[in-house]
Each structure stands twice: as C-alpha cells, then as structure tokens.
Amino acid sequence: MKKPVIGPIAFLVFSAFSLRAQEKPLEMKMDFEQYDPPSSLVVEEHRVTRAKFPFIDIHNHQFSMPTMDLGELVKKMDALNMAVMVNLSGRGMGSREHLEKSMANVQKNYPARFVVFTNVDFRSIHEADWGARSARQLEEDVKAGAKGLKIYKSLGMMKDTNGNRIPIDDPRIDPVWAKCGDLGIPVLIHSADPKQFWQPIDEKNERWLELKLHPGRRHDTDPVKWETLIAEQHNVFRKHKKTIFINAHLGWYGSDLKKLASLMDEMPNMYSEIGAVIAELGRQPRAAKAFLTKYQDRILFGKDSWQPDEYETYFRVLETEDEYFPYHKRYHAFWRMYGIGLPDDILKKLYYKNALKIIPGLDPKIFPK
C-alpha cells in the first residue's frame, strides 16, 4: 500500500497552522483607561447642539446666583434652546439671605428664564419644634418666589447633632412633605447614588473607573445599604400621596426599566427626570423608547451638572436614531449609545410640558403648543 504523498501546497498550509499553534501573544499590557479605539463603523451621524424644542432643565445648580451675571448665563442657555433653568440650590449652603438675593437677581433681570427651589436643613431635626419651624420656612420661601423643594442625597446618610442617622422616611419630616402638597409645589429628591457605588470595587463593577478616579464616591463600606435608602425614599412617596415627588436620576433604576415601571405604576405621585443617566437609556434604545412612550406624562428633562457642551449627548440620544456613538464621560459610561428617536409629541412633554404641569407659575406662552 502506497503512503499518501503530501504536496507542496498542503505542506505549506500544514506548516502555517503549526506555526500559528505555537504562536505566543505579544508581551503587551495596556490600562483600561488607555484602551479607547475610535470606531471603524461608518454610519450617518447627526450632531445636535441645539434642542429641537425649547426646554426646561429641571435639574441644575447655580450656587453663585445671588451675584452672577445672568445675562452671560442666558446667552449659553439660548445657544442650547434652554427656555427655563431650574436652580435647585436656592439656599446655597443653607442661607435665607442666599435665597432672597438669588430671587432678587432673577426678578430684576430675567424673571421668565429662571426658577428657584428652596432647601431644608435637617441637622437640628432633634429639636422639638423642627417640623413646624421647617414647614413655616417653606411657606415663607414660597412667598418669596421659590417654586419647589430640593432634597440633597445627604438625607439618609447624614447624622443629626446628636450623632444619629436621619432616615429619609423619618416621621419628623412628615410636616415638610405634607406642606409641599398643601402649597402645590413639587419635591425633587435625590436619594443614594448608583447602586454600583455600594458594590465591591473590582473587575465586575461597571463603575470601576469612576470609583478609581473619584474614590470619595465609594460607599461599599457604609453601614447603611443602598437598598435601605431606596426603600426609605419609596416609603415617603407612598405615605404622602398628595405631594408630587420628582425622583432624581430615574431613581437609579435606569438600568432596570421594568422595575422602574412597576414603581411608576404603584406610585402615581412619583415623577422622574433623566439627569446624569442618559447613558443608561442610550444603551437600550428600544426598551427606553417603550418606557418613555408609556410614561411620557411623568418624565422630565434634567441634566444636573452645568456643562453646556455635554447637552449635545442628551439631544442626540433623545432626538436622533444615530448608532454606536460615545458618551461624553468615559468613566460614567465606557459603552456606546444609540439614538431613541422620540416623536415630537413625546419630546415636547419631556422637554417642557410635564414641567409646566407640576411647577407653579411658569409662563406657557413662551413654549409651542
């Protein structure tokens, strides 16, 4: 029996596979932060530097409002098509004078372009008259021009002057929530932070890079758990059904829209806004569009940090159907995003109609019908 003869071509192919099998990977290492190759995908791109419709930014902070040149701020707002900015930091670091000077600056110069929310100091909550005193403060602040109450994320994680943690659902705060309902003003409340901040900082944490760069944001060793803070917040919503609550940052459920939908269904007095979580919506465009369609009457536009060049990302996700484009902060979102392509009627609700519905005293005539 003759042995099979291996021809020259077969020999070369066999040799190539043998060499490849013996091939070793290159001795190269690269940090995660460095590996950020530009996409080779060739698709249509639509830069949107100005919103399609005038919008109300429900989540902004301007701590220098008492003395700042509002004219310069308005120029930047106009470039974005921002009709109204809501400054949630009305009392600055807790001062009535700060609120009064902020309102005076607004009323003198651009009364139709700015809304100011007030704030409450919880540090003296152990004092017997704190609830009644804080409710009276709300009344006075609303008379001075405040149109809502902002609750910072420190509630639930801070301690009173006696060293005791103040739960978000502490019954001593009930007069404040109830007074907001009586006054017809919304409460924009930020509770906790992304759930990943409470998780181990390892290769399985989606926010690893952010926590590496900003270690002050970590809560993985905190005695109070993320689930505890969120549950306390929801207890307040359930208890005070006559008060409108705007749950900041999609309540940190932007990555679990099914859960968020169940909460929206359970608590009709809970609204929400998209500040700092547009990357969550942008990576699930079909689910996000379905969610925003179903709850189109209760989601508002918000940004949070005042960085005008970052608004483009929000507009692009909401208005276009672009594919596979980056978020503006890689440490927030290393993944790519996709445009949702909301129809005009839903865009109008998200951009301004829903805010007009729950913030008292705004002028609807400056917006399209």
Q: What does the pLDDT look like over 245-268, one tens digit per residue? A: 999 999 999 999 999 999 999 999
The two beta strands, 270-273 and 299-300, are: parallel
Instruction: Say if residues 318 and 46 touch (Cβ distance below 8 Å).
Output: no
pLDDT above 60: residue 4:
no
Q: What tokens does 312 get?
A: 């483009």
CB atoms within 10 A of CB 19: 9
pLDDT above 80: residue 166:
yes
Q: Averaged over 305-320, what is the pLDDT?
A: 98
Three-point CA angle 146, 167, 62, nearest 5°: 30
Residues 6+ apart with CB under 8 A from 259: 253
Q: What does the pLDDT look like over 48-73, one tens digit per residue? A: 999 999 999 999 999 999 999 999 99
Q: What does the pLDDT look like over 16-27, one tens digit per residue? A: 555 555 688 888
Say how many residues make up the chain.
369
Q: Averaged over 97-119, what is the pLDDT?
A: 97
pLDDT greater at residue 6 or residue 83: 83
* pLDDT of 28: 87
pLDDT above 60: residue 10:
no
Residue type, 231: A
Domain boundaries, the chain: 44-366
Q: Averaged over 167-194, what is the pLDDT?
A: 98
* pLDDT of 155: 98
**pTM, to two decimals:** 0.93
CATH of domain 44-366: 3.20.20.140
Residue type, 202: D
CA dist., res. 47 & res. 24, Å (int)? 43
* pLDDT of 27: 87
Residues paired with residue 270 on neighbouring β-strands, in sequence order: 245
* pLDDT of 23: 82
* pLDDT of 18: 55
CB atoms within 10 A of CB 65: 24
351, with CB counted inside 10 A (0-12, 13-18, 19+), is buried
Nearest alpha carbon to residue 161 among 129, 128, 122: 122
* pLDDT of 33: 85
Nearest alpha carbon to residue 264 among 301, 304, 299, 288: 299
Nearest alpha carbon to residue 115 among 105, 106, 124: 106
